[in-house]
Amino acid sequence: MCSLFAVNTSKENNMKLKVLVLITSIVSFCVSPAIAQMGTESSAANTPRLNTTDRFIPVIARNGMVTSREKMASQVGVDILENGGNAVDAAVAVGFALAVTYPQAGNIGGGGFMVIHLAEENKSIAIDYREMAPSGADRDMFLNEDGSVDDNRSKYDVKASGVPGTVAGMVHALENYGTMSLKEVMQPAYDLANDGFAMYNYLQSSLNGRKERLMANEAAGKAFYKADGSSYNFGEILKQKDLAWSLKQIMDGGKDAFYKGEVAKRIVADQETQGGLITMEDMAAYVAVERPVIVGEYKGHKIITMPPPSSGGVHLVQIMNMLEEDDLKSKGHNSAATLHLYIEAMRQAYADRSKYLGDPDFTDVPVDELTSKKYAKLTRALIPTDKSRRSTDIAPALNILAESPDTTHFSVMDSHGNAVSNTYTLNFSYGNHKMAAGTGIMMNNEMDDFSVKPGTANGYGLLGGEANSVQPRKRPLSSMTPTIVLKDDKPFFVTGSPGGSTIITVVLQSVFNVLEFDMNAMAALAEPRIHHQWMPDAVIIEDGVSKDTKDILIGMGHTIMPMPFALGSLSTIMYKDGIFYGAADTRSMDAAAIGY
């Protein structure tokens, strides 16, 4: 047994040093017998050595790992892995489970992006299941008669919903890259909806915070609150029978049940009743699309990430290219010199985003140019060493012709070396706060992610142009950045985050923390983060960055904005020396990394 003891501080200095060494040795052993045992186990043959000295310790597993924003959904994924499923099977199961247990962002009424790496084929795939504008949408649909933008309509009106893509995306992934049946991977989600689960802290708080808007919609009020209008308390069982019905329809009838069958009929009937735009033809016409992944090269690693209509992958690689020749490690993690470079590179990337990024099926997106090393050198040369620039002086620099904090992300890795990074969303928390009657499905408000009027900011303050204008059957631009980092062509680090416009910069810093500053999976997301998005011309800096560093940045001309919220909620997995290291963000209540 370990015990603590007092030290006589009157001893001579050399004795103090000896005692300090002794204390360090004892504390290293006594902090956790389990951790100490891990260290002794490392001497066994073929057993990797585990680092037990880090300040932030990730979850450790030998066979696979799932990390998501909600622990019941994470456990669903692990159960699938333990029952012989691969990473794709587990990811699809988690995606459907989050629609039940994390309804503010987990969904079958929204859409998103999935990046998959298949070990056996050494192949990476990007699945675009972003929502699509209905055929009745038009570029001026959210403008007032005087040409001004009606923010309320683009965010909360029933017309704010695009055609959902999640079901098509999940089914496409499972049918093409999974090993289990749709019924097998959806059964846990159905059980959670039909039998219910105990109300947990974060969901209780979220539902209470959105109660007025949700209660204004009869179906949502019925689903999330008691018959007398009161809220469910912690530990009470929440059942979602209408959602269970929808899930059962999909389990039995596949994606056609959602896009052509009874679920589609109920969604469209609700749209007609409420004055929405989505028709049966729109639902039937929806398809998930496979697109070539974006592949960046950074100091011996491959950055596998999402192409447009996500802007995330393009600008993640763009910023990393800009800073590749800088010795960030010697400048110091979160030093003023390092943060200055981050800010200026972010500033350029978001300026480019405003002009060039959109749905590649409707506009030519200069992906190769934006992610080229040549362009990175050009834009890096414009960054001054000792002072900030003003965003009004920065423009999209190519010489060519012309998302809510309550998005959610999950990461999965299996024992075969397969990896999935998935980010999906309703846009705002609970989308437009409208549930399709009789389905239990919250509808998205993704139409706000279009540039409703070029040059006018959306709900996240992002500016956009013609490339992201509203058009029928078009997919809105997104900042979601599901990413897999390969080392020696094998998954090394899987990462992603919610956070609206901040997603790109949050994911960027998690990758830099691992590749530049040698942090483990937990430390990489526990450190304070920053964000700059060109406009508004200000940087958000989380608590934890020193006042001295902030003062230096202010002295260089940077404007620091009061921190309105924590930046992102990363779900990461690292695979190193035969061990899975999982981490759920310390900023997130009830998130969980679970391995086996």
Q: Are 592 and 585 in contact (CB under 8 A)?
A: no
- d(Cα 26, Cα 31) in Å, to the nearest integer? 8
Residues 468-477, mean pLDDT to the nearest whole number = 92
Residues 190-207, mean pLDDT to the nearest whole number = 98
Reported as a single tens digit per residue, the pLDDT across 560-583 is 998 878 999 999 999 999 999 999
Residue 461, pLDDT score? 54
- d(Cα 394, Cα 378) in Å, to the nearest integer? 13
Best CA proximity match to 255, nearest among 281, 223, 287: 287
Confidence of residue 468 (pLDDT cuts 50, 70, 90): confident
Task: Please give the model's pTM, rounded to 2 decimal places.
Answer: 0.91
Residue 463, pLDDT score? 55
Residues 71-91, mean pLDDT to the nearest whole number = 98
Q: Which residues contact 448 (CB under 8 A, 6 or more apart)?
A: 154, 155, 160, 427, 428, 458, 459
User: Poorest-confidence range of 130-134, 302-306, 439-443, 531-535?
Assistant: 531-535
CA dist 439 to 32, 220, 278, 442, Å? 49, 10, 15, 9
Residue 109, pLDDT score? 98
Confidence of residue 396 (pLDDT cuts 50, 70, 90): confident
Helix, strand or coil for residue 448?
A: helix
Q: With 60 as the cut, is the pLDDT of residue 219 above it?
A: yes
Mean pLDDT, rounded, of the chain: 90
Q: With 60 as the cut, is the pLDDT of residue 155 above it?
A: yes
The neighbour count for residue 275, using CB atoms within 10 Å, is: 9
Residue 28, pLDDT score? 37
Residues 204-230, mean pLDDT to the nearest whole number = 97
Residue 466, pLDDT score? 77
Reported as a single tens digit per residue, the pLDDT across 84-98 is 999 999 999 999 999
**413/564: higher pLDDT:** 413
User: Poorest-confidence range of 26-35, 177-186, 278-287, 297-306?
Assistant: 26-35
How many residues does this entry show for the chain?
Answer: 596
Q: With 90 as the cut, is the pLDDT of residue 246 above it?
A: yes
Q: Are 572 and 37 in contact (CB under 8 A)?
A: no
Domains of the chain: 1-35 (no CATH), 65-136+148-290+427-448 (no CATH), 295-405+479-595 (3.60.20.40)
Q: With 60 as the cut, is the pLDDT of residue 25 above it?
A: no
Q: Which residues contact 335 (CB under 8 A, 6 or more apart)?
A: 549
Q: Where are the beta strands (DSSP E) in 387-440?
A: 408-413, 419-425, 435-436
- d(Cα 74, Cα 94) in Å, to the nearest integer? 7
Q: With 90 as the cut, is the pLDDT of residue 38 above it?
A: no
Q: Residues 312-323, buried b or exposed e (16+ Cβ, 10 A)?
A: bbbbbbbbbbbb
Query: Hey, what are 525's tokens?
Result: 């997301």
Reported as a single tens digit per residue, the pLDDT across 96-121 is 999 999 999 999 999 999 999 999 99
The dihedral of CA 92, 98, 100, 105: what is its sign? negative
Cα end-to-end span (Å), the chain: 29
Residues 232-237, mean pLDDT to the nearest whole number = 98
Q: Which residues contact 132 (CB under 8 A, 6 or more apart)?
A: 162, 163, 165, 282, 286, 473, 474, 475
Query: What percent of the chain shows pLDDT beyond 70?
Result: 88
Confidence of residue 451 (pLDDT cuts 50, 70, 90): confident
Catalytic residues: 407
Q: Residues 185-220, buried b or exposed e (16+ Cβ, 10 A)?
A: bbbbbbbbbbebbebbebbbebbeebbebbeebebb
Query: Hey, what are 327's tokens?
Result: 């010795």
Q: With 70 as the cut, is the pLDDT of residue 27 above it?
A: no
Query: Hey, what are 315's tokens?
Result: 């600008």
Residue 3, pLDDT score? 37
| Inter-axis angle of helices 503-515 and 312-323, nearest 10 | 40
